[in-house]
Chains A and B, each alone.
Chain A
Amino acid sequence: MKNLVLVFLALVGFAFTSNAQEKKKKNAKHDIEVLGNCDMCKKRIEKAAYAIKGVKSAEWHSEDQTLHVIIDENKTSTTVICEAVAKVGHDTGEVRATDEDYAALHTCCVYERKAE
């Protein structure tokens, strides 16, 4: 019985120490403006972001037209994400989608573009 408690406490200690080593830049939060409409857009935008190595979390909300990401800055950057998202047809703060990629969107996803 005593041994079990000891083993348990030792493992608890281990679990705490093992993830005490985190560097700031490994988890950088960024908000990126991404235009879109609907749930289909949300899936497409997040899928494009997740396909990039170094993107840990990507959540897009239509209300604020913003993609909230947490990235490992050693591996990727917001520019890379903007390029990838634009590639699937969505205008972003940094990179604008090509007209061909925009035209290829599903009809319900045809969001209003901002003037260039």
Chain B
Amino acid sequence: MKNYILLFFCVLFQYTQAQETISGKVVDKNNKPLEFALISWKDTEIGAEADAQGNFTLEFVPDAILQVSYVGFELMEISTFPNKENLIITLKSEQALDELVIKTTRKSTTRSHTSNTNTMTMNSAELLKAACCNLAESFETNPAIDVNFSDAISGSKQIKMLGLTSPYILIAEENIPTVRGASQAYGLSFVPGTWVESIQVTKGAGSVVNGFESISGQINTELIKPANDIPFYLNLFGSTDSRFEVNTHLNHKLNDKWSSTLFVHGNARVSKNDMNHDGFLDNPLGSQINVMNRWQYIDQENGLVAFLSARYMKDEKQTGEVDFDKKRDKGTTNLWGSEINTEKFDANAKIGYVFPDMPFQSIGWQNSFSYHNQKSYFGLNEYNISQRSFYSNLIFSSIISNTLHKFSTGLNFVYDNYGEDVFNYTAQNYDRTDNSVGAFFEYTYDNADNFALVLGGRVDNSNRLGLFVTPRLHLRYNPWEDAVIRASVGRGKRIANIFAENQYLFASSRQFNINYADGKAYHMDPEIAWNYGVSFSQGFHFLGKKAEIGFDFYRTDFQNQIVVDLDQSARTVDFYNLDGKSYANSFQVDLSYNLAKHLNLRAAYKYYDIKTTYKSGNLERPLQAKNRVFVNLEYQTHETDKGGSWKFDATWNWLGKQRLPYTGDNLAQNQLGQNTNPFSTINAQVTKIFSDRFEIYVGGENMTNYQQNRVILGADDPFGSNFDSTMIYAPIFGQMYYAGLRFKIK
């Protein structure tokens, strides 16, 4: 008996050995596995089912026809087998099922594997996740950008990229640099979020086409194009901190070539809030009216596109002590108060021409004029700045022999006329005119497979920066599927507008000291920095769901910087040329994962090492968390036939400890420690979409109700030497809840 069994096993063993198999994978034309597809030999009983990844193994039958079938796909018959392993069988979808609409939800923030720069594109769906309402507040759900807490004076949020503040980021609107010079501090809050179609956030050195000023990165916003706009849009918003907003868009298409949209935005904060009972408002009272008219011309046959726009904006803010009355108390020491009033007008024209028989060749010309006028006072400090600017950029793009070798070249011209009056202990005037003319050339090689290189350079001649060269280099390599390695190097140069960029410091008793060094920018030198970066990202599937992990490291090395030193004394802020080292290292790991159908997770950890040689030695940049964690969860219910659904979104931010500037020469009760405590905040939002025309949303900010315990030093004596309202490292206002609606006519 035993022998029989043994024999049986031997035979079986031999049989399995001798049996030839065929194995492979069934996919659709996008290489997506077709799980549980059926594979069988025609006219036989031999068949198998693919597994959840579309993989199958089947006994090989010589001279038979292999049939592969899957619901919704054409039956495929294969009779020749060049090899029998790792077959990839691509099924074609059945034509009869054409009317079946397959919707895939596009991620609201995307990072392309074929883009040559480390760019994240946020579309309008991502922008809707933020509580409110302007560009400064749009980055709350984007890990590449850190949003600081709004200070009590301006009420606007400041952003940082790679640990560096917004002056080091080139912020452009449709590739025309906009938030610069006088508008550096509040410019982002002058662009209503509903006007924005998408935002591209690029880390590291940017393209030379847009200028020489970018150091840590670029943010470009694309506004809604009249040709694609809907006839009517209305958005209303109100929040528990008594802020109200109205946005309406009216679009009209005159004919198949001309279309126009009128954008109207208004916002107001009407009631006084003092949640921490320090006698000062937590956020300013204010109002803004912002109107833009935009025209688009398209002539597809002749390859012409043109945009014309004009915009007017008036923004008023008042803050300070709760009982401050601007008519009675301005310019006195009765009560401390502040007003920031800004008026802005701009007009621009853009024209693009694509050569009809050469789609790879085009000419673009952008011209923009803007006028900006800010009048403000902070207690007894006064700050008035006006800026008249003209910007012109001409770009010619074409190829060298074929489209694997592309280039863009052109010229640009920038003119800025500033009127700047400062009263800080003494009256000072810094009126000036800057102009620069430059030529750029950018070459792109893309092997249409896995490697690309962008090499750019520009030469500029500026009345205050002299003649100089700006080189930039980007590399992309896809070593294997779903993986991308990028590297970038670039140099940036700029004039620091020290008062405009640091005007929040006027809301303190500090005296502004400029250390004269015979330079041309406030007697100091221009800022010059090199930025180097590498990044790697890999898409993969984990437990059958899509995931992506990314790592990036950037270093910004300043050759010269205008050091803003708050550590000499709590009485002064010192500005001087860098004498030593200044660098910003940033490391980020981020993970996005589709946890379940319609449920997405995005998480990031960021580490910053930012040090500068101050007069008192090498110190960490103040008010900068070394460690930050970001987690965002989004969920959307399945869309009904009418297009209705629920959307849920929550963001958790954790900030590690931050170094505080020196306060040792204040009275004991006005001294702060060395560091802040770590803390976290939660923002969440729920949107009910009734149809593609109407939706309402409610949400909360800072739902953990974390509040900075002492916001204003020397609040009891605002005209005394200890007064300082600029040490903001955490939310001032506690929990904030809001609600709004969106109505569209399509």
* A interface residues, Cβ below 8 angstroms from B: 1, 4-5, 7-8, 11-12, 15-16, 19, 22, 24, 27, 29, 37-39, 43, 46-47, 50, 53, 55-58, 62, 70, 103, 106-108, 110
Contacts and interface: CB of A to CB of B under 8 A. Distances in A.
B435 A56 contact: no
Nearest to B392: A8
B403 interface: yes
B437 A4 contact: yes
Nearest to B31: A38
Given A50-B448, A70-B358, 15 more contacts: A8-B411, A12-B411, A15-B396, A19-B361, A19-B396, A22-B358, A43-B449, A56-B360, A58-B402, A58-B403, A62-B29, A70-B357, A107-B24, A107-B82, A108-B27
Band of interface residues on B = 35 or more
Interface in B459-473: none
B669 interface: no
Interface string B85-101: 01110100000000000
B437 A103 contact: no
A39 B82 contact: no
Contacts of B83: 107
What 5 pairs between A and B have smallest CB-CB spacing?
A108-B88, A57-B403, A27-B357, A27-B358, A56-B402
A39 to B, nearest CB: 7
Interface of B: 24, 27, 29, 31, 82-83, 86-88, 90, 355, 357-361, 363, 365, 392, 394, 396, 398-399, 401-404, 410-411, 413, 415, 435, 437, 439, 448-449
Contacts of B437: 4, 7-8
Nearest to A102: B82
9 contacts: A4-B435, A8-B413, A12-B411, A15-B394, A19-B361, A50-B448, A55-B402, A58-B402, A58-B403
A50 B357 contact: no
Given A4-B437, A107-B83, A19 B404 contact: no
Nearest to B86: A107
Contacts of B24: 107
Given A16-B363, A62-B29, A108 B90 contact: yes
A22 B83 CA distance: 51
Contacts of B448: 43, 46-47, 50
Contacts of A107: 24, 82-83, 86-88
Contacts of B31: 38-39, 108
A41 B361 CA distance: 27
A37, A70, A107, most chain B CB atoms within 10 A: A107
A5 B415 CA distance: 10
Given A39-B31, A46-B448, A24 B413 contact: no
Nearest to A51: B402
Contacts of A50: 402, 404, 448
B458 to A, nearest CB: 14
A1 B413 CA distance: 11
Contacts of B404: 50
Contacts of A46: 448
A110 B403 contact: no
Contact of A1 (B358, B398, B435): B435
B389 to A, nearest CB: 14
B82 A15 contact: no
Given A16-B363, A24-B357, A56-B402, A38 B396 contact: no
